Amino acid sequence: MTERLVVVGAGMASGRMLEHVFEASPGAFEVTLFNAEPRGNYNRLMLSPVLSGEKTYAQIVTHDEAWYRAQGVTCRFGERVLSIDTDAKTVTGERGSLPYDKLVIATGSDPFMIPLPGRDLQGVIAYRDLEDTERMIALGARPGARAVVIGGGLLGLEAAAGMQARGVEVTVVHLMGHLMERQLDPSAGYLLQKALEARGIRVLCKAVSQEIVGEDGHVTALRLEDGTDLLCDLLVMAVGIRPATALARAAGLAVNRGVVVDDRMATSAADVFALGECVEHEGALFGLVAPLYDQAKVLADTLAGRPAAFVNREVATKLKVTGCDLFSAGDFAEAPGREDIVFRDPGRGIYKRLVLDGDRLVGAVLYGDTADGAWFHGLIKDRTDVSAMRDTLIFGPAFQGGAPADPLAAVAALPPEAEICGCNGVCKGRIVQAIEGGATTVDLIRATTKASASCGTCTGLVEQVMALTLGDGFTANANPPMCRCTEHTHEDVRRLIKSMGLKSIPAVMQELGWTTAGGCASCRPALNYYLLADWPDDYRDDRQSRFVNERNHANIQKDGTYSVVPRMWGGVTTPAELRAIADAADRYNVPMVKVTGGQRIDLLGVRKEDLPSIWSDLNAAGMVSGAAYAKGLRTVKTCVGSEFCRFGTQDSTGLGIRLEKLLWGSWTPAKVKLGVSGCPRNCAEATCKDVGVVCVESGYQIGVAGAAGMDVKETELLLTVPTEAEAMEVIAAFIQLYRENARYLHRIHKWVAKVGLDWCRDQVADPANRRALYERFLHSQTVYQADPWAELARRPQDWAPIADLTLRAAE
C-alpha cells in the first residue's frame, strides 16, 4: 500500500532524504514536495561559487524536473505551506489543502535580520537563496557599485569575496574583535583579515551598526555608532540564522529553539518528522550540511520502518573563498586542563593550532596550510589517543610514517570549481563533465571546453584530471616532471600555485606532495621564483633558495672570487662614475677590468669578504648593482640615436635609459637583455636580444624572442607602435606575461616557441589586457625594484669567515 508522504521544504536536507527514501522503500510513498522558493532542490552551498562567477545556477541544481517525474514526485514549488493540522493529518498550502500519512518538515532556517532602523529599505537583503545571489550579481554589473556586508562569518565573507570578484567595492562590518570568531581564534582571524584586505575588501572589526540610511526608499549607507557613514548600494546582512519554526509552532509541535526531534527524527506529533536546520536535537542546532545528510539517512530508515538513530558528530568548517585556506574543527576554547600546540610562520602566513584535552585532540584551527585538516578532523571524531605522536602531531600525517603521497592526490583533491585553465576560465568540474561526455583526448577536451586551448600551460593538469577520471584508460604525453622531488611538471606547479593559492615553498611541497623534505637545488630556485612572481605582496624572497650568484648578488668565478658590475643606464656613464670605478679597482686590487658585451664595466676577481666594501664605495658614487648575475633584467644596450647620429630617427639612448629605469630590479624566469637601435642599421644589435626595439621614422618596432647565445636567432616582430610611451608599456606588459607564464630557466625565445608569438601578441595588443599586465608589473616593481648592495653591505661580517681557527691556534 502506498502512503502519502508530504514534505515541506525542498532544501538540501529533504533532497538527500528523498534520494534515500526512494532507494530504501521504492514505491512505498507517493510524495508531494512543497517549496516556498519557486524552484526545486539545489546545492545551496554552491551559491557562493555562483556569486563569484565560478559556477552557474544550472550547474548547482541537484534534482531536476526529470528526476521528480521519474520518482513520481508532485512538485508544488513556489507555494508556501501555511498550516498543519496534526489531528486531521492535513497540510494547507497557498493553493489548497492535502491529507498526509507521513509528514516531513524541512523548512531550514531564516536569516536573522538585526532590527536596525531602516532595515525595510530596498537594497537590504540577506544571503540565503538564489534571489539574494542574483541581487548581488546584478550589483557587480554596475560600474563603481558599493556594498556593505554586516557579519564577518562564513556567509558574510563568502558574500563579500563573491561581490568583490565581480568588481564591487565591499566593506565588511563585524561586531566582534576578529573574523569568524566562532570557528577561528584571534590569530587565524587576523591572518584571514589580512588576506581579504590584500584582495581589496575593507574589513572593520568591533564595528557597531546603528542605522541604515536611505533615500527614496532605497538604502544609501550604513551608519556606525561612531557616526561613520559607509556608503552603499546594497546592504547584505549575514549575522546568523534562526531555525524556521513558525509553521511547526503554530501546529502545536514541541518547539524549543528548533523543532524538537528525537534520535529517529520524529517530532512530538504522531507521523510528523523533521530534519535539517529547522530542528533541535538534544539541545543542538545545525548550520552545516554534514550532519543534515546523516539526519536524511536516519529519517529515510525511520520512514521505512527500520531502526536508526541520529548521532550528532563533529563538523569541520572550510571557507569557500578561493585563495583563503582555512580550516577549523572541534572545540578550541580555552579551558582548564587543555593544552595548545601552536605552529606559526608569520612570514608565510601559516598558523596552526591544536587543542589537546589530556590524550585527545579536541580542536584544530589551520590557516594558510590546510592540507592536514581532514586528518586532524579524523583524530578529533575518533577520539584517538594521540599521546604517542604528540611531539610531531602538528606536522601532520606525513611525519607519522603513513602511506607515501600519491602524485595525483593534489589534483584529485581539487574541488570541482577549482580553475584549471586560467586563460579560458575552465574549472575542473567542467573538464570532468567533458571527459564523461566522451572527450577522451586532450584535443577533444580543447575542442569541447577550450581548456588548454590558449597558452597551453595547463595541459599537464588537464591530463591529470583525465588520468583521474579515466583511470587506466588514459596514457599521458611524456612531459617530464619538474625534478625528482615531484611528479608535477613545471607548468602544473605554476598553475597549481595560482589555483590553490599556494604562497610558500613549504605549502607547495606540502600540498603538491613533494617526496623530499626540503626539495633540491633544482626545484627550490624555481619555486622561489614562481612564488615571488605570482604573489609579490604575500611572498618574501627566500635567499637560501637561490643559486650562489643571486644569493650573493655577484657572479662566482672558477677560483671562488666574484665579479662586480655596476649598472650603467643604457650603457651611458660619466667621468665621475668612471673615476669611482677606477678607484675601487685600485683599492681592492681587482685583477681584471673588462668592458662587457652589454655595455657595462666588469670588475673581475673580487674576494668575497671585500664585496660589502666595494659595493659601499660604488653606492657612494651613486651606482647600484648591475644585476649581471640575475635571472632578471640585465642590460639595455643602446646606440647613440638621434642625439648624435645623423641616421637616427628617434632618441634610442633616452628610450634605453627609460626602459632600464622602468625594468631594473625585476626577477624573470631567466635573464632578459634588451637593445634599442636608433634606425634599421641596428648598431645596438637589437635584433638578437630577448626584446629589441628598432626605431623608425613612424615609431618603434618591437621585436622579441631573439637569441645570441648557444642558439642564435633573430627577433620576431611583436608590434609596431607610434609613441615611446606605448613602446614602454608594451615591453613591460610583455615581460610581465613572460614572468607570469614561462617555465623557470626558459629564455624568452624558448617560451615564445612554446606558446606561440600569436598568443603573446593577442595578450599585449588588447589594450585592457596590456594595461592590466603593465599594472601588475608596476605593482611587483614596488616590491622588487630595490638595490641589493646597500642592504647587503650593511652586515659586512656575514661575508667573512665566521671564525678563523688559524689565528686561534697561533695564540
Least gap, CB of 101 to ligand FAD (angstroms): 19
Which residue ranges make up the site for ligand SF4 (CB under 6 A)? 639-641, 645, 647-648, 652, 677-679, 681-683
Nearer to ligand FAD, 47 or 704 (CB): 47
Least gap, CB of 789 to other proteins (angstroms): 18
Q: Is 424 helix (H, G, I), strand (E, B) or coil?
A: coil
- Choose the stretch contacting ligand FAD; rule: CB under 6 A; options: 19-27, 41-49, 398-406, 618-626: 41-49
Measured torsion, CA atoms of residues 704, 707, 708, 713, in degrees rounded to the nearest 10: -100
When asked if residue 575 is in the footprint of other proteins (CB under 8 A), the reply is no
The entry of other proteins, ligand FAD, ligand SF4, none that residue 81 binds, CB within 5 to 8 Å by partner kind: ligand FAD
State how far the Cα of 349 lies from the Cα of 370, in Å rounded to an integer.
Answer: 12
The entry of ligand SF4, other proteins, ligand FAD, none that residue 802 binds, CB within 5 to 8 Å by partner kind: other proteins
- In Å, what is the CA distance from 730 to each residue of 561, 580, 727, 779? 39, 36, 5, 16
Q: Which three cell numbers stand for residue 686?
A: 637589437
When asked if residue 12 is in the footprint of ligand FAD (CB under 6 A), the reply is yes
Nearer to ligand FAD, 317 or 563 (CB): 317
The entry of other proteins, ligand SF4, ligand FAD, none that residue 12 binds, CB within 5 to 8 Å by partner kind: ligand FAD
Q: Which of 333, 334, 326, 407 lies closest to 373, judged by CA?
A: 326
Least gap, CB of 572 to ligand SF4 (angstroms): 14
- In Å, what is the CA distance from 775 to each residue of 457, 729, 737, 769? 22, 9, 12, 10
Nearer to other proteins, 477 or 544 (CB): 544
The entry of ligand SF4, ligand FAD, other proteins, none that residue 247 binds, CB within 5 to 8 Å by partner kind: ligand FAD
State how far the Cα of 622 lies from the Cα of 567, in Å rounded to an integer.
Answer: 10
Q: What is the largest CA-CA distance in the chain?
A: 107
Q: Which of 215, 212, 276 lies closest to 245, judged by CA?
A: 276
Give start and end residues of each alpha helix (H) in 273-355. Answer: 289-303
When asked if residue 582 is in the footprint of other proteins (CB under 8 A), the reply is no
State how far the Cα of 302 lies from the Cα of 261, in Å rounded to an integer.
Answer: 13
Least gap, CB of 402 to other proteins (angstroms): 19
Give the residue at shortest CB distance from ligand SF4. 678
State how far the Cα of 129 lies from the Cα of 244, in Å rounded to an integer.
Answer: 14
- Choose the stretch contacting ligand FAD; rule: CB under 6 A; options: 44-52, 172-180, 408-416, 529-537: 44-52
Instruction: Report yes or no: 635 and 672 within 8 Å, Cβ to Cβ.
Output: no
Binding to ligand FAD (CB under 6 A) within 317-336 occurs at 320
The entry of ligand SF4, other proteins, ligand FAD, none that residue 555 binds, CB within 5 to 8 Å by partner kind: none
When asked if residue 347 is in the footprint of other proteins (CB under 8 A), the reply is no
The entry of ligand FAD, ligand SF4, other proteins, none that residue 808 binds, CB within 5 to 8 Å by partner kind: other proteins
Nearer to ligand FAD, 11 or 656 (CB): 11
Least gap, CB of 82 to ligand FAD (angstroms): 7
Q: Is 237 helix (H, G, I), strand (E, B) or coil?
A: strand
- Other CB atoms within 10 A of residue 82 CB: 12
When asked if residue 675 is in the footprint of ligand FAD (CB under 6 A), the reply is no
Q: Are strands 229-231 and 218-224 parallel, antiparallel or unpaired?
A: antiparallel
Integer Rg of the chain from CA: 32
Least gap, CB of 806 to other proteins (angstroms): 5
When asked if residue 810 is in the footprint of other proteins (CB under 8 A), the reply is yes
547-570 burial code (b ≥16 CB/10 A, e <16):
eebbbbbbbbeeeebbbbbbbbbb
How many chain residues touch other proteins (CB under 8 A)? 29
Binding to other proteins (CB under 8 A) within 503-562 occurs at 516-521, 524-525, 543-548, 551-552, 556, 558, 560
Q: Are strands 316-318 and 279-281 parallel, antiparallel or unpaired?
A: unpaired
Nearer to ligand SF4, 568 or 655 (CB): 655
State how far the Cα of 450 lies from the Cα of 270, in Å rounded to an integer.
Answer: 56
When asked if residue 107 is in the footprint of ligand FAD (CB under 6 A), the reply is yes
The entry of ligand SF4, ligand FAD, other proteins, none that residue 8 binds, CB within 5 to 8 Å by partner kind: ligand FAD
Instruction: Report yes or no: 32 and 73 within 8 Å, Cβ to Cβ.
Output: yes
Least gap, CB of 34 to ligand FAD (angstroms): 4
Least gap, CB of 653 to ligand SF4 (angstroms): 9
586-605 burial code (b ≥16 CB/10 A, e <16):
eebebeeeeebebbbbbbbb
- Other CB atoms within 10 A of residue 499 CB: 20
Residue of 128, 348, 495, 600 that binds ligand FAD (CB under 6 A): 128
Helix axes 490-499, 459-470, angle to 10 degrees: 90
Centroid of chain to Cα 207: 28
Q: Which of 763, 680, 774 lies closest to 727, judged by CA?
A: 774
The entry of ligand FAD, other proteins, ligand SF4, none that residue 525 binds, CB within 5 to 8 Å by partner kind: other proteins
State how far the Cα of 602 lies from the Cα of 562, in Å rounded to an integer.
Answer: 10
Give start and end residues of each alpha helix (H) in 703-798. Answer: 724-741, 748-755, 757-765, 767-784, 788-792
The entry of ligand SF4, other proteins, ligand FAD, none that residue 545 binds, CB within 5 to 8 Å by partner kind: other proteins
Query: Which amino acid is it at 275?
Result: L
Q: Is 76 helix (H, G, I), strand (E, B) or coil?
A: strand
- Choose the stretch contacting ligand FAD; rule: CB under 6 A; options: 43-51, 365-373, 634-642, 721-729: 43-51
Centroid of chain to Cα 264: 42
Nearer to other proteins, 127 or 629 (CB): 629
Nearer to ligand FAD, 129 or 538 (CB): 129
Nearer to ligand FAD, 277 or 511 (CB): 277
Query: Which amino acid is it at 180?
Result: M
Binding to ligand FAD (CB under 6 A) within 145-204 occurs at 155, 158
Q: Which of 605, 600, 602, 577 lies closest to 590, judged by CA?
A: 605
Nearer to ligand SF4, 677 or 763 (CB): 677
The entry of other proteins, ligand SF4, ligand FAD, none that residue 805 binds, CB within 5 to 8 Å by partner kind: other proteins
Binding interface with ligand FAD (CB under 6 A) = 8-14, 34-37, 44-45, 47-48, 80-81, 106-108, 127-128, 155, 158, 244, 247, 276-277, 287-290, 292, 320
Binding interface with other proteins (CB under 8 A) = 516-521, 524-525, 543-548, 551-552, 556, 558, 560, 801-810
